[in-house]
Amino acid sequence: MATPHARRGDTRRRIQDVALELFAEQGYEKTSLREIAEHLDVTKAALYYHFRTKEDILNSIVEDLASPVDELIAWATEQPRTLETKCEVLRRYADALWSAGPLFRFIQENQATVRDLSIGETFKTKLLAVHSLLKDPDAPLTDQVRSITAVFAMHAGMFAMQNLEGDPEDKRAAVLEVAQELIAQTYRGQTDTP
């Protein structure tokens, strides 16, 4: 028998899933708490027990789905700044992006709204933290551009690849390969290899 805490966690997760689906389909602004409650077949009061606002729901989704990025940042901060480490940062970042695909698709498709919400700043902070793990502050400007482009390639690739035919894992590997090649170009003339 499930404990009350486990059932509460399941309900919270269901709310998050339904809300994210509706936010992605209709847009954040056009989705109401009432609609979320109706899709869950619960009362608005039951929804309020878990979340007071749509932004509370969205913040909880970001906290849950973005935790692998936080773990990546913590891990990478303790590693040597080698090409091998940077390629591993990109590999782990790709895993985090793909596992949180619906959230990142929502963010991509609702950029104006996200910018005005607290998650916009949270997302930007995480993105810049990953970038700082990839760039060398003393590197030439072109290499610093390559490092930020590697991060953006991961995001753009995730969306662009949706419309290309082929195995999803092959497409994911191709995006990662391009991002890692951009980082490798910043190590021209060095012997360190991924």
For 73-88, write each residue's pLDDT tens digit.
999 999 999 999 999 9
> CA 127, CA 142: separation in Å to the nearest integer?
19
Q: How confident is the model at residue 131 (pLDDT cuts 50, 70, 90)?
A: very high
Residue burial 73-99, b: 16+ Cβ < 10 Å; e: rest: beebeeeeeebebbbbbbebbbebbbe
Query: Is the model's pLDDT at 12 over the cut of 50?
Result: yes
Biggest distance spanned by C-alpha atoms of the chain: 63
Mean pLDDT of 104-120: 82
The answer to whether 58 touches 16, Cβ cutoff 8 Å, is: no
Our CA angle for 158, 163, 164, nearest 5°, is 90
Task: Give, in order, the Cα–Cα distances in Å from 169 to each of 9, 150, 174.
Answer: 31, 19, 9
Q: How confident is the model at residue 5 (pLDDT cuts 50, 70, 90)?
A: very low
Mean pLDDT of 57-71: 89
> CA 116, CA 52: separation in Å to the nearest integer?
18
pLDDT of the residue at 3 = 39
Instruction: List the single range of 14-23, 96-105, 140-149 with lowest mean pLDDT.
Output: 96-105
Task: Give, in order, the Cα–Cα distances in Å from 36 to each of 6, 8, 47.
Answer: 21, 17, 8
Mean pLDDT of the chain: 86
Q: How confident is the model at residue 191 (pLDDT cuts 50, 70, 90)?
A: very low
Q: For 163-181, what is each residue's pLDDT tens digit?
A: 788 888 898 899 999 999 9
- 119 vs 150, more confident: 150
pLDDT of the residue at 2 = 41
Q: How confident is the model at residue 9 (pLDDT cuts 50, 70, 90)?
A: low
Residue with tokens 């869950």: 40
> CA 33, CA 51: separation in Å to the nearest integer?
9
Global pTM reads: 0.79
Q: Assign residue 41 a region: left if phi > 0, alpha if psi is -120 to 50, beta otherwise? A: left
pLDDT of the residue at 130 = 94
Mean pLDDT of 28-39: 94
**What is the DSSP track for 101-156?**
HHHHHHHHHTHHHHHHSHHHHHHHHHHHHHHHHH--TTS-HHHHHHHHHHHHHHHH
The answer to whether 153 touches 90, Cβ cutoff 8 Å, is: no
